[in-house]
């Protein structure tokens, strides 16, 4: 039987398809959390390019990205008079309830997580971190590797600058090596 296109490409590129991780920060963090939450679910596969196999990942790292669109503080921020329109994926919404209805399909907390998950949090005073502890607790109850790391004294884009860049990379490396049962660097 011929190999699936995804298996063939993995072999060609010498990639182990059982050790794929995705990392994203800020809005990219929300997207990789959603990728992990919908991981392996055929209804979330696209219809562009080769369609053999699933686009599965085994681990995701969400760096200071949104995890729960339904948190009351986030909804409150979107509330305002009808003339106070807010942008949302290519269109304008007029009320938080309209935005919330559209967001639920892209909310990692509402999907069934299938990949290991590391949240790396800043200490910036922003409302983008709600839902993370609940999500990690839910994953652990399902036997899925999940963790939250807080890097102290950090602004929202901490991962881009020193002295926090090295710590961010080290936390990602540690988590992925642990999850994939790989020796520590230098071993």
The CATH number covering residue 136 comes to 3.40.50.1820
Q: Tens of pLDDT along 36-85?
A: 887 777 777 767 665 556 677 899 999 988 777 666 665 565 555 444 44
- Report the number of distinct structural domains present in the chain: 2
Please provide residue 75's backbone torsions phi and psi, each rounded to the nearest 5 degrees.
-65, -45
> What mean pLDDT is reported for the chain?
75
DSSP reduced 3-state for 102? helix
Does residue 48 form part of some domain?
no
pLDDT tens digits along 114-145:
789 999 999 887 656 677 888 888 888 888 89
Half-sphere exposure for 69 (CA within 13 Å, toward CB): 21
**9 within some domain:** no
* 128 and 66 Cβ atoms separated by less than 8 Å: yes
* Confidence check: pLDDT of 160 > 60: yes
Structural domain including 174 reads 18-42+54-68+112-187
Give all strands of the β-sheet with 21-25 in edge-to-edge order.
21-25, 59-63, 116-121, 146-150
Look at the block and give the residue holding tokens 């909804």: 75
């Amino acid at each position: 039987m011929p190999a699936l296109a995804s298996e063939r490409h993995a072999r060609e590129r010498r990639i182990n398809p059982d050790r794929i991780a995705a990392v994203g920060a800020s809005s990219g963090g929300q997207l990789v959390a959603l990728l992990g939450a919908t991981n392996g679910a055929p209804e979330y596969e696209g219809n562009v390019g080769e369609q053999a196999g699933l686009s599965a990942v085994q681990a995701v790292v969400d760096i200071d990205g949104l995890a729960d669109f339904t948190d009351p503080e986030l909804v409150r921020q979107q509330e305002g008079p009808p003339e106070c329109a807010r942008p949302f994926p290519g269109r304008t919404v007029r009320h938080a309830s309209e935005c919330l209805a559209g967001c639920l399909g892209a909310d990692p907390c509402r999907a069934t997580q299938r990949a290991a998950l590391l949240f790396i949090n800043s200490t910036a005073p922003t409302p983008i971190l709600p839902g993370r502890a609940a999500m990690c607790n839910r994953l652990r109850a399902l036997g899925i590797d999940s963790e939250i790391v807080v890097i102290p004294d950090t602004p929202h884009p901490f991962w881009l600058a020193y002295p926090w860049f090295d710590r961010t990379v080290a936390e990602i490396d540690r988590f992925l090596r642990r999850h994939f049962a790989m020796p520590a660097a230098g071993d």
